[in-house]
């Protein structure tokens, strides 16, 4: 397979359209035969037809006549089939191919899992099934017939409505599905197997009845109720908030344990990783429930943002993903704890997307080039893309944003379009100039806003003058000198020394405001807020109004003031985070210079006030107590010494745990009391997921590890003795307890983990939790235990969830992945090579763990480099892994 780079600028319209595709799948024991009849419409007199395919070709018919082999050429190098002399009038091609789903461990195309067959076609998996232009701007209507043995494959599913079914000879049966909506090939899906059905229904706002069908393994059917409720809530929400109604009469969700990502929005037939469907309180944590709700919503929302209006080409991926993530974030925020959800999103963005943007993998929200499209399902396309959509919303407000959405659907329903089309709809519906805003789609890297403020006399009044400078970083694709100033909303309010929000006026405007949104759109600019009070502490970037780094020279006292009083929860939390970051950085400096560690009385007092504040929501309080993780601390720093960061962070945790022991204990006990309050005498199963109890539990387990920080021996004894009682309420408690003692050096910790593994031996998703506990422990023997876990009977290198749980988690375990003897790097690299042989997509995901290479101190950098060079030296390396590793090394 050659390493060809595809460029956005090279886009050309398709030479042939395929408005109809008829498929026939004959499923046999060893292989599946596929006949695809493509109804082809040549454009502008084109005669040469190029189809994409990476599949065994048996024969081709043109208008029912078999083509001689001389009529076409197969090019395995670039996976094309070229037919040079095709008619200029519409014609059909019937292509017979053969696939071996049992041998397919890439989980891309048609594959087998536990005896059942599933497809995954986004972005370019359809070509592993048959030959087709296989590009998202070639859309068509699909009819799919599936034939298979009725005992082995009683369930036969595809997109749209089932129009016929019946039995055939030899114990076989068939089903024919028709999808009336045109769609690209990447939304095609097929499922065949022996699956349990759980059904329900939803009545749409216009009164149509939609059948809901969830397919799982028989043994898992009792775990789908929450996902079904989540789907109904999503359908309702999209009607009320976006005015969007579901369009088919049936909505199917199939859960499969072998799946490369979270889930896939195939029209009318979503296919999901079991992780995002199955949940009950004995096996899923509160966070897992929230994950199920969010992913069910995400895939459902794609029906309009992705399926009805799709992408012209894969460079536009964020058109559907950024927008759909924004929509699922808003849904989750409307469901519960909006502020906490927002902070979680920001934390995810800053931990992983900012790191990506500061790495050799940096790319714009709309990438300009790619080698392997699977490598571009990134934090930047999804999460930064969602922030870009959120900025339209911040500029336009809810009503203006909805006007834009409405125009977008009016103009583009049934089409494959670009990010510019979306931007134009937002602009035109509101008469708002989003010209400069286009830079968010083409300039990579996280901008930094350097802000300073000063008071100025103006007659008898005071003005507050804000100077805002935006700094754009160099990225591998573009030096900073070629970048232009971006346009972004800067939400701001002013607080006085008592923590009250002060009023101000804007230039040429006599209204009084106590918050506003400034439009930043120049490299350097000044904003004047008029008639302000004597003392000003600005609350900046409220709600995280733009995905940027913010620099403002706050005093610690000002940060404590905002932490105590800001009414924007993001800004309030961020003030606390800044204090925590400063304390960790000071520890790092002290460690580097061999000085005593500094004390942080102001921070400690601020945290004490938080712990003692009975008016704070529990979930929010738990967020305020989170100390930033290592990856969040590295920002754009160079010469990172990862283990030193860990030590500096641990030292701060020591200080907090020591100084606030009593308050932490009281807070945790209180939260436990509140959680138990309404449950006395009731069934254990009453400890089910709900946002309020989830917050109380989050608070308990934010305190628990700090409370037990110093007395390892006593803690493990206590947990050991009370484990069953603590764990039996639900998985959140069980997980919380195990996480809290997971780094304990005692043999009893191993015994608890072993008991946990034995208890959940047949629950694959809980076993993933077991493997991730092994891999995230900070105990000295973690690598040894991780290596041993590879041989656990429930571990499987060909199952992506297992790989992510054990090896992926290990790669994020800072002291162990970055062990100074190189053993952590070697362990991960060894498995990248192994997995690449059968699942390049998952291997490439693991390879990203090395993207810190250039920013890490020299000794570790050399060890990392040696591993990466050994990987690229492999002749059989996939283009997926090669693209990632070559970029890191470049």
Beta bridge partners of 491: 517
Q: Judged by CB, which is closer to ligand TRP: 325, or 648? A: 325
Check binding of 299 to ligand TRP (CB under 6 A).
yes
Q: Which does 264 bind (CB under 5 to 8 A by kind): Zn ion, ligand TRP, none?
A: ligand TRP
Q: Judged by CB, which is closer to ligand TRP: 258, or 768? A: 258
Closest CA to 396 of 316, 453, 326: 326
Point out which span in 84-92, 261-269, 418-426, 444-452 binds ligand TRP (CB under 6 A).
Answer: 261-269
In the complex, the smallest distance separating the C-beta of residue 383 from ligand TRP, rounded to whole angstroms, is 12
Q: Judged by CB, which is closer to ligand TRP: 299, or 867? A: 299
Closest CA to 865 of 819, 816, 825: 825
Alpha-carbon distance of 155 to 175, in angstroms, equals: 9
Contact between 302 and 267 (Cβ < 8 Å):
no
Give residues 310-369 in contact with Zn ion (rule: CB under 5 A).
Answer: 321, 324
Beta bridge partners of 177: 144, 162
Q: Judged by CB, which is closer to Zn ion: 146, or 311? A: 311
Q: Judged by CB, which is closer to ligand TRP: 267, or 581? A: 267
In the complex, the smallest distance separating the C-beta of residue 374 from Zn ion, rounded to whole angstroms, is 14
The DSSP code for 788 is H
Alpha-carbon distance of 35 to 339, in angstroms, equals: 52
Give residues 231-270 in contact with Zn ion (rule: CB under 5 A).
Answer: none
Q: Which does 104 bind (CB under 5 to 8 A by kind): ligand TRP, Zn ion, none?
A: none
In the complex, the smallest distance separating the C-beta of residue 388 from ligand TRP, rounded to whole angstroms, is 16
Q: How many CB atoms lie within 10 A of CB 287?
A: 16
Point out which span in 196-204, 259-267, 359-367, 710-718 binds ligand TRP (CB under 6 A).
Answer: 259-267
> Contact with ligand TRP (CB under 6 A): which of 260, 307, 475, 839?
260
Check binding of 143 to ligand TRP (CB under 6 A).
no
| Catalytic entry in 299, 321, 588, 883 | 299
Q: How many CB atoms lie within 10 A of CB 511?
A: 7
Contact pattern from residue 370 through residue 399 relative to ligand TRP, giving x for each residue in contact according to CB under 6 A and a dash for the rest? -------x----------------------
Point out which span in 170-178, 208-216, 260-268, 500-508 binds ligand TRP (CB under 6 A).
Answer: 260-268
Contact between 455 and 536 (Cβ < 8 Å):
yes
Q: Judged by CB, which is closer to ligand TRP: 134, or 265? A: 265
Q: Which does 323 bind (CB under 5 to 8 A by kind): ligand TRP, Zn ion, none?
A: none
Angle, vertex CA 487, rays to CA 484 and CA 492, nearest 5: 135
Check binding of 120 to ligand TRP (CB under 6 A).
yes
Q: Judged by CB, which is closer to ligand TRP: 122, or 330? A: 122
Task: Strand 461-471: give its sheet, edge to edge.
Answer: 524-529, 461-471, 448-458, 549-552
Point out which span in 71-79, 258-266, 749-757, 828-836 binds ligand TRP (CB under 6 A).
Answer: 258-266
How is 824-863 classified by DSSP, letter by letter? HHHHHHHHHHHHHTT-HHHHHHHHGGGTTGGGB-HHHHHH
Point out which span in 263-271, 449-457, 538-546, 865-873 binds ligand TRP (CB under 6 A).
Answer: 263-271
In the complex, the smallest distance separating the C-beta of residue 313 from ligand TRP, rounded to whole angstroms, is 15
Q: Judged by CB, which is closer to ligand TRP: 744, or 839? A: 839
> Contact with ligand TRP (CB under 6 A): which of 54, 112, 122, 655?
122
Check binding of 446 to ligand TRP (CB under 6 A).
no
Closest CA to 287 of 618, 689, 623: 689
Q: Work out whether the CA dihedral 286, 631, 383, 267 comes out positive or negative.
A: negative
Contact between 230 and 276 (Cβ < 8 Å):
no
Contact between 377 and 365 (Cβ < 8 Å):
no
Q: Which does 655 bind (CB under 5 to 8 A by kind): Zn ion, ligand TRP, none?
A: none
Contact between 839 and 847 (Cβ < 8 Å):
no
- Is 869 labeled as catalytic in the residue annotation? no
Closest CA to 678 of 692, 699, 663, 664: 692
Contact between 834 and 347 (Cβ < 8 Å):
no
Which residues neighbour 80 within 8 Å (Cβ) at sequence distance 6 or greater?
50, 51, 52, 53, 74
Give residues 309-338 in contact with ligand TRP (rule: CB under 6 A).
Answer: 321
Contact pattern from residue 263 through residue 302 relative to Zn ion, giving x for each residue in contact according to CB under 5 A and a dash for the rest? ----------------------------------------
In the block, which residue shows the tokens 């002291």?
815
- Give the CA distances from residue 599 to residues 296, 336, 564, 654, 658, in Å, rounded to whole numbers and listed in that order: 46, 37, 20, 11, 12
Check binding of 124 to ligand TRP (CB under 6 A).
no
**Burial category of 392 from C-beta neighbours within 10 Å (exposed 0-12, middle 13-18, buried 19 and up):** buried
Q: Judged by CB, which is closer to ligand TRP: 295, or 885? A: 295
Binding site residues, ligand TRP, CB under 6 A: 120, 122, 260-261, 263-265, 298-299, 321, 377
Binding site residues, Zn ion, CB under 5 A: 321, 324
Active site members: 299
């Amino acid at each position: 397979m050659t390493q060809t780079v595809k460029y956005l600028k090279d886009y050309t319209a398709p030479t042939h359209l395929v408005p109809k595709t008829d498929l026939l799948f004959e499923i046999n024991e060893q292989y599946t035969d596929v006949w695809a009849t493509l109804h082809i419409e040549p454009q502008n007199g084109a005669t040469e037809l190029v189809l994409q395919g990476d599949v065994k070709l048996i024969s081709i018919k043109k208008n029912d006549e078999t083509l001689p082999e001389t009529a076409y050429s197969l090019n395995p190098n670039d996976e094309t089939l070229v037919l040079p002399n095709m008619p200029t009038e519409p014609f059909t091609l019937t292509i017979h191919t053969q696939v071996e789903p049992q041998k397919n461990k890439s989980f891309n195309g048609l594959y087998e899992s536990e005896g059942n067959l599933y497809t995954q076609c986004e972005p370019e998996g359809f070509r592993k099934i048959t030959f087709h232009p296989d590009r998202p701007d070639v859309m068509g209507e699909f009819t799919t017939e599936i034939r298979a043995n009725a005992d082995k494959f009683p369930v036969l599913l595809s997109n749209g409505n089932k129009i016929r079914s019946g039995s055939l000879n030899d114990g076989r049966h068939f089903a024919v599905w028709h999808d009336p909506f045109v769609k690209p090939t990447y939304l095609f899906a097929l499922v065949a197997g022996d699956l349990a059905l759980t059904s329900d229904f939803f009545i749409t706002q216009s009164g149509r009845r939609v059948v809901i069908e969830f397919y799982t393994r028989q043994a898992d059917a009792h775990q789908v109720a929450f996902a079904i409720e989540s789907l109904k809530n999503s359908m309702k929400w999209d009607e009320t908030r976006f005015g969007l109604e579901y369009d088919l009469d049936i909505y199917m969700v199939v859960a499969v344990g072998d799946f490369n990502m979270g889930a896939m929005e195939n029209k009318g037939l979503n296919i999901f990783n079991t992780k995002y469907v199955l949940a009950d309180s004995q096996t899923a944590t509160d966070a897992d429930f929230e994950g199920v709700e969010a992913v069910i919503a995400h895939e459902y929302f794609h029906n309009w943002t992705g399926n009805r209006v799709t992408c012209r080409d894969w460079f536009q991926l964020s058109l559907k993903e950024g927008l759909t993530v924004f929509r699922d974030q808003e849904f989750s925020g409307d469901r519960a704890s909006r502020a906490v959800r927002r902070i979680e999103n920001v934390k995810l963005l800053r931990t992983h997307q900012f790191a990506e943007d500061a790495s050799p993998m940096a790319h714009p929200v709309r990438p300009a080039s790619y080698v392997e499209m699977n490598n571009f399902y990134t934090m930047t396309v999804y999460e930064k893309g969602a922030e870009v959509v959120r900025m339209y919303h911040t500029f336009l407000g809810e009503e203006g944003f909805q006007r834009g959405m409405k125009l977008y659907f009016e103009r583009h329903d049934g089409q494959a379009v670009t990010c510019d089309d979306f931007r134009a709809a937002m602009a035109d519906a509101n008469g708002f100039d989003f010209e400069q805003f286009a830079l968010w789609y083409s300039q990579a890297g996280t901008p930094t806003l350097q802000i300073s403020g000063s008071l100025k006399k103006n007659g008898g009044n005071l003005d507050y003058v804000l100077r805002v400078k935006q700094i754009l970083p160099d990225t591998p694709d573009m030096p900073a000198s070629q970048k232009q100033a971006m346009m972004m909303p800067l939400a701001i309010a002013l607080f006085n020394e008592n923590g009250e929000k002060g009023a101000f006026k804007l230039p040429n405007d006599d209204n009084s405001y106590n918050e506003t949104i400034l439009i930043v759109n120049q490299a350097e600019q000044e904003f004047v807020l008029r008639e302000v009070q004597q003392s000003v502490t600005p609350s900046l970037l409220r709600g995280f109004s733009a995905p940027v780094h913010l620099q403002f020279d706050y005093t610690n006292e000002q940060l404590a003031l905002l932490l105590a009083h800001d009414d924007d929860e993001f800004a309030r939390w961020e003030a606390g985070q800044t204090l925590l970051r400063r304390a960790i950085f000071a520890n790092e400096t002290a460690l580097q210079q061999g000085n005593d560690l500094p004390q942080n009385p102001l921070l400690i007092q601020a945290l004490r006030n938080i712990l003692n504040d009975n008016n704070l929501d529990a979930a929010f309080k738990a967020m305020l107590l989170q100390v930033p993780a290592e990856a969040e601390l590295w920002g754009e720093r160079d010469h990172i010494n990862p283990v030193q960061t860990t030590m500096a962070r641990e030292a701060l945790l020591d200080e907090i745990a020591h100084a606030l022991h009593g308050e932490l204990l009281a807070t945790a006990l209180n939260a436990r009391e509140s959680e138990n309050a309404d449950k006395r005498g009731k069934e254990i199963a009453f400890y089910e997921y709900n946002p309020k109890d989830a917050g109380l539990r989050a608070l308990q387990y934010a305190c628990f590890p700090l409370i037990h920080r110093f007395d390892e021996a006593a803690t493990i004894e206590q947990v050991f003795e009370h484990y069953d009682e603590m764990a039996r309420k639900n998985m959140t408690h069980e997980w919380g307890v195990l996480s809290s003692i997971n780094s304990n050096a005692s043999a009893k910790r191993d015994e608890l983990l072993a008991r946990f593994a034995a208890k959940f031996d047949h629950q694959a998703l809980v076993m993933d939790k077991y493997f991730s506990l092994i891999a995230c422990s900070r105990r000295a023997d973690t690598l040894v235990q991780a290596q041993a876990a590879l041989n656990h009977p429930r571990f499987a290198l060909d199952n992506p969830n297992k790989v992510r749980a054990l090896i992926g988690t290990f790669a994020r375990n800072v002291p162990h992945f970055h062990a100074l003897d190189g053993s952590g790097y070697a362990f991960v690299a060894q498995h990248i090579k192994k997995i690449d042989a059968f699942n390049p997509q998952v291997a490439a995901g693991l390879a990203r763990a090395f993207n810190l290479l250039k920013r890490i101190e020299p000794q570790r950098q050399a060890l990392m480099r040696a591993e990466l060079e050994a990987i690229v030296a492999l002749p059989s390396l996939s283009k997926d892994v090669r693209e990632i590793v070559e970029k890191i090394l470049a």
